[in-house]
Structure 1
């Protein structure tokens, strides 16, 4: 399955969209559209396998944020509120209707902000390996946790990590402070949408107690755990896709009651 790739500029900032859908039906009115947002230093490649699994049933769009995935650096720091707004505006400019937002690592902060700012566009939120845990909002602590995660990630994901980081180092440095300062546990309480929090059982970054706390802070939060590391969506792409699909079906059934 080959994705359609296009770059959209919002307020002068580039956002690259990788769209894949069942049988290539990227223009159909499939609803909702599942939007995949990567973490700091990463790109759409961190969702490559899980996007293929999700695209068997849903129209999906994997995003490259400004300064990441080979896109030019923004030249300034972008807050999570600005990144969240950029994501929604970019995908809606290309025709997407109702959105389900899936964020991984720093992407969880981005999609929570997107859902907070655009409640009428976003129907549900999935947070994979949420960051940054309270009590670990220091660069040195995050570096230690990231190093530990490298020992449990597979060869492919470690290769993606290294090459994506090298491509995005300028924007990475700028986004580190906003990511560390963002209090996900506070903002998520403002969301009206249902939220699924997914954690890998071997994840040293999004630890179990913290991830449960994030889910509990949501008005309509659910917690689930799969075997795997920080990028559990790639270690368990089919299981993750089934978990997300079951979550969406459950929300649809509740909406019909």
Structure 2
């Protein structure tokens, strides 16, 4: 992990540091009250940390409200390589590449035990991070997982995302997503779309041996209920939760309800 400019304040109280592995660079974010990455985070007696992982084209920003709700326990968010203005890799990255990056940078940061919380394509990265370092991932939370079997072509996936943004999302969540898409840029976004579309979510998820929570907003146009239930049933310890009155970006629109569902799943006390 590198700190070329020291620790710096960002995003209403979040601190950040540059993290690197395998020639790739991203950023790690945490709030006051969470141990800074490095030696201070190692051996943290508070139990597994929450690690929030964004999806394609976006950043930690649309996870910011959920981060705040979970931050009574150690909580970290990532901006992954190629997204949110981080340096773009010189080649297409697979979900496995992102999973390895997540696991390696968390280990280098002294974060040895964690609950991975992924959203959308971040679900794919989450699964791969857990498969890469199964001894460190204690539980998985999969929010709005892609790609739903109803949307296995790029046009269908695009229509589902458009309808969700038009009909189900708030102005603030749409603003964050759209501005993050611009920061990512169309070239990298389109580079990673085939990776997302071709990822065998059910097959890879079947290799997970820790408890898994699949969570969706009940109005999510992207990740339907049948698909989410099927994923929950693909693992020995799977469960499924719907959050009312929310679409695909459920963690931004209903952060408190999502946090309560996650804490209930983990067995942690409510705030």
Q: TM-score, normalised by structure 2?
A: 0.88
Note if contact 1:31-1:97 (Cα within 8 Å) is conserved in structure 2.
no
Deviations along 1:7-34, one digit per CA (max 9) or x if unpaired, are 111111002100125x354445132111
**Structure 2 CA distance for aligned equivalents of residues 69 and 117 of structure 1:** 24
Structure 1 position 154 matched with structure 2 position 170: yes
Q: What is the CA–CA distance in structure 1 between the aligned matches of 2:248 and 2:14, rounded to whole Å?
A: 25
TM-aligned CA deviation for residue 217 of structure 1? 0.7
Is the 8 Å Cα contact of residues 53 and 60 (structure 2) preserved in structure 1? yes
TM-fit CA distance, 1:135:
3.8
Q: State the Cα distance separating 1:62 from its structure 2 match.
A: 0.5
Are 2:231 and 1:220 aligned?
Answer: no
* Aligned residue among 90, 101, 120 for 2:116: 101
**Counterpart selection for 1:49 from 65, 68, 74:** 65
Partners of 1:3 and 1:88 in 2: CA distance: 21
Q: Does 1:144 find its partner at 2:131?
A: no
Provide the secondary structure at the position in 2 that maps to 1:18: strand
State the match for 1:5 in structure 2.
16
Q: Is the 8 A contact 1:15 1:87 kept in 2?
A: no
2:221, 2:196 → 1: CA distance? Answer: 17
Contact 1:15–1:90 (8 Å) recurs in 2: no
Counterpart in 2 of 1:31?
47
Match of 2:182 among 153, 160, 166: 166
Residues 103 and 132 in structure 2, CA contact (< 8 A), matched pair in contact too: no
Cα separation, 2, equivalents of 1:248 and 1:229: 23
1:222 and 1:135 map into 2 onto residues whose CA distance is 21
**Contact 2:114-2:136 at 8 Å conserved across structures:** yes
Aligned to 1:254: none
Change over 3 Å in CA distance of 1:202–1:82 after alignment to 2:
same
Count of residues paired in the alignment: 248
Give distance in 2, aligned partners of 1:210 and 1:247: 20
What's the offset of the Cα at 1:134?
Answer: 1.6
Give 1:51 shift: 0.2
1:183 corresponding residue in structure 2: 200
Contact kept in structure 2, 1:43 and 1:63, CA below 8 Å: yes
The gaps in structure 1 that reach 5 residues or longer are: 251-257
CA distance in 2, matches of 1:46, 1:40: 12
Query: Are 1:16 and 2:33 an aligned pair?
Result: no
**CA separation in 2, counterparts of 1:135 and 1:24?**
40
Aligned to 2:254: 236
TM-superposed CA distance for 1:40, in Å, is 0.5
Matches of 2:252 and 2:235 in 1, distance apart? 25
Question: Per the alignment, in what secondary structure is the counterpart of residue 76 of structure 2?
Answer: strand
Map of 1:253 onto structure 2 = none
Q: CA separation in 2, counterparts of 1:119 and 1:58? A: 21
TM-score (norm 1): 0.93
Say what the alpha-carbon RMSD is for the aligned residues: 1.3
Q: Give the Cα–Cα distance (whole angstroms) in 2 for the partners of residues 53 and 2 of structure 1.
A: 13
